[in-house]
Amino acid sequence: MPVVRIFSKVAKQALLSTPGCGCQPLTVAVRNISFSPRQVTSDASFHSVSFSETDHPKVLITGGLGQLGVGLAKLLRKRYGKNNVILSDIRKPQNSIFHSGPFIYSDILDYKNLREIVVNNRITWLVHYSALLSAVGEANVALARSVNITGLHNILDIAAEHGLRLFVPSTIGAFGPTSPRNPTPDLCVQRPRTIYGVSKVHAELMGEYYHHRYGLDFRCLRYPGIISADSMPGGGTTDYAVQIFHDAIKTGKFECNLRPDTRLPMMYIDDCLRATLEVMEAPAETLSMRTYNINAMSFTPEELAQELQKQMPELEVTYEVDPVRQAIADSWPMNFDDSNARNDWAWKHDYDLPELVQTMLNFFGSETRMARFN
């Protein structure tokens, strides 16, 4: 039993056993106490029972209106039931998203609001997607520090206090220019040069600390660049790989802000979401670590353009290098070593570059392409 609950129970019994003492009800300020919100043995097994044997998890997704949240909610609702997955954000959702399942306003910087949501909705899994991405974070370091670090602290404290299974994504941006780049292993020198990367290393280490210190069931995947058709680029350095499809369909021209030979690891969104579900469902005893690389493909802007031009030969691609984004990309891995994920919980990707391009074009529709180029 958590120490806080023991303390509260003993204090309450002491008050109730002293009639007429005139004492006021005791309130325990959980967040301000100095000891662990949860005490467990170092060899404990966390949430190792599969959810096929128990009730479905009740999931809260923060930052749910970003590139990944809506897709993950759709996947989890199909698996666990519509009402068991709650999307949250500080922005107003589109009607289609609002009516697709539970949505709630949640500001990760508002600890009280976040705690109430977890308690009132009996949350058991928390997927923390709220973050400012690499290029946006460099343009507003103070805000990135607040959202990516202070917000994370709120999430960690609440997850530990209420015994949640917590997923926090990391990124290729968690590595730096002194990291081995091809391939980049799970464990190596990181030392990123962006506030986004620094905040993600902080998240990895804090999550692992809370796991070992408080028994928090923390799980983390380092995502490559994620490519999806049904969301607009969100300010990341790898977003050129999404923007090229939008521009190709709309104008038949694309200006890339990275050098044509800039190689980065990438992944189609369906693989990313499936990996997230699989690591969340993996029995604790199969996890040899709490933060894993996952990989699918690795390509350059030139290689992506050439694959796209096989089906859209009229596409014109030019290069106007953004020095800020290029410097970021040059400090990131060229290829991920994800052998631990493949060995521990049988991770395997489905999409390589040809399948990615075909899937993206199928999403936009052949009629649109024909109208543009005929």
**204-242: per-residue pLDDT in tens?**
999 999 999 999 999 999 999 999 987 777 667 899 999
d(CA 175, CA 263): 15
Q: What is the CATH classification number for the domain harbouring 340?
A: 3.40.50.720
- With respect to residue 311, please indicate whether it lies within any of the assigned structural domains: yes
Q: Which domain holds residue 188?
A: 130-369
Backbone φ/ψ region at 101: left (φ over 0), alpha (ψ -120 to 50), beta? left
Q: Where are the beta strands (DSSP E) in the chain?
A: 59-62, 85-89, 103-105, 125-128, 165-167, 170-171, 217-223, 225-227, 253-256, 264-268, 291-293, 297-299, 316-319
User: How high is the pLDDT of residue 230?
Assistant: 79
User: How high is the pLDDT of residue 70?
Assistant: 95
Q: What is the pLDDT of residues 145-184, one digit of tens each?
A: 999 999 999 999 999 999 999 999 999 999 999 999 999 9
- With respect to residue 89, please indicate whether it lies within any of the assigned structural domains: no
What domain count does the chain have? Answer: 1
* Cβ-based neighbour number of residue 74 at 10 Å: 17
- Chain centroid to CA 233: 16
Q: What is the pLDDT of residues 66-116, one digit of tens each?
A: 889 999 999 999 999 999 999 999 999 999 999 999 999 999 999 999 999
Catalytic site residues?
196
- With respect to residue 232, please indicate whether it lies within any of the assigned structural domains: yes
- With respect to residue 214, please indicate whether it lies within any of the assigned structural domains: yes
- With respect to residue 80, please indicate whether it lies within any of the assigned structural domains: no
* Cβ-based neighbour number of residue 16 at 10 Å: 11
What average pLDDT does range 133-152 have in this prediction? 92
End-to-end, the C-alpha distance of the chain in Å comes to: 69
What average pLDDT does range 342-349 have in this prediction? 98
Beta bridge partners of 316: 253
Backbone phi, then psi, for 59, in 5-degree steps? Answer: -110, 135
- With respect to residue 116, please indicate whether it lies within any of the assigned structural domains: no
The two most distant CA atoms of the chain are separated, in Å, by 89
User: How high is the pLDDT of residue 306?
Assistant: 97
Write the CB contacts of 186 (distance below 8 Å, at least 6 apart in sequence). 289, 291, 292, 293, 337, 340
- With respect to residue 27, please indicate whether it lies within any of the assigned structural domains: no
- With respect to residue 357, please indicate whether it lies within any of the assigned structural domains: yes
User: How high is the pLDDT of residue 133?
Assistant: 84
pTM (2 d.p.) = 0.82
Write the CB contacts of 325 (distance below 8 Å, at least 6 apart in sequence). 135, 237, 257, 258
Burial label, 323 (beta-carbon count in 10 A; 0-12, 13-18, 19+): exposed
